[in-house]
């Protein structure tokens, strides 16, 4: 385990995480509504171009109302995730891909907490490019066995989790299923043990949290809670446990 590698990855992911609040705000809309392009408080248009999406400011440039999650929260979470992934995997060729999905995961979790959605506009392109990017790595390193296992894990969990999302009454949505399939690609690359951990750990993480919220009366039995944060945190934990 190299402190330099961990520090570099934590810093890179942390800086990327600092830029996420505005994108999280713009994506956090209910189903069927267009992405936000104005401040909900004063109605001012958000800046055009890259600055309208990536910015360390989590407030409106015009009225200073808070838009999206706190900058420190996304920065610290992404930095921690990046450091943990680097510590778990070490200097491997696929490390940048795992770091990228860790930062994407922070953005997805922030959106899910805000509006209980994991938008297709983010998840589907990631699902589409992931096999291609991993194939590029396999072409260099010869890890085609890992690539094939990742593909099988992604397809198998896609079928299982989408089936679960179609069951009536569950708190598990189609967005959760697609993110679970995406993450399963990464687990599959590491091995079947990681796939199993990645499928189980989110439920283990979610159960005590749900129980605490129920006991404290913050939520009722019929409340619909976002599952994305547990899915993503459980995934991070699965990568760490499987690698160590």
Please give the residue ranges that form the binding site for Zn ion (CB under 5 A).
Answer: 39, 41-42, 44, 60, 62-63, 65
Q: Which residues pair with 59 in a beta bridge?
A: 66
* Neighbour-count burial of 25, counting CB atoms closer than 10 A to its CB (0-12 exposed, 13-18 middle, 19+ buried): buried
Based on CB atoms, which residue is closest to Zn ion, 61 or 131? 61
Which CB sits closer to Zn ion, 20 or 60? 60
Minimum distance, C-beta of residue 62 to Zn ion, in the bound complex (Å): 5
Query: Least distance to Zn ion from the beta carbon of 42, Å?
Result: 3
Q: Measured between alpha carbons, how far is residue 29 from residues 26, 70, 113, 177, 222 in Å?
A: 7, 18, 11, 19, 22
Asked whether 18 and 75 are in contact (CB, 8 A), the reply is: yes
In terms of CB distance, is 44 or 212 closer to Zn ion?
44
CB of 138 to Zn ion, least distance (A): 47
CB of 66 to Zn ion, least distance (A): 10
For the chain, helix (H) and strand (E) counts, in that order, are 9, 0
Nearer to Zn ion, 40 or 212 (CB): 40
Could you give the 3-state DSSP secondary structure of residue 42?
coil
């Amino acid at each position: 385990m190299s402190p330099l590698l961990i520090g570099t990855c934590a810093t890179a992911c942390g800086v990327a995480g600092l830029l996420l609040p505005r994108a999280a705000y713009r994506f956090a809309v209910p189903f069927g509504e267009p992405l936000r392009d104005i401040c909900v408080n004063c109605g001012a248009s958000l800046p055009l171009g890259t600055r309208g999406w990536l910015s360390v400011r989590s407030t409106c440039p015009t009225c200073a109302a808070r838009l999206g999650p706190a900058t420190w929260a996304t920065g610290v979470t992404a930095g921690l995730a990046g450091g943990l992934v680097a510590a778990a995997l070490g200097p491997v060729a696929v490390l940048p891909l795992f770091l990228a999905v860790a930062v994407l995961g922070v953005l997805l979790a922030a959106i899910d907490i805000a509006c209980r959605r994991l938008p297709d506009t983010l998840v589907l392109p990631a699902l589409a490019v992931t096999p291609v990017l991993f194939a590029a790595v396999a072409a260099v390193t010869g890890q085609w066995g890992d690539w094939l296992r990742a593909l099988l894990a992604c397809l198998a969990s896609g079928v299982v989790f989408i089936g679960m999302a179609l069951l009536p009454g569950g708190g598990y949505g189609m967005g959760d299923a697609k993110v679970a399939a995406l993450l399963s690609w990464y687990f599959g690359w590491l091995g079947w043990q990681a796939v199993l951990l990645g499928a189980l750990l989110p439920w283990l993480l979610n159960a005590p949290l749900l129980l605490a919220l129920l006991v404290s009366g913050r939520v009722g039995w019929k409340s619909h809670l976002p599952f994305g944060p547990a899915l993503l945190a459980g995934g991070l934990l699965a990568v760490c446990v499987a690698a160590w």
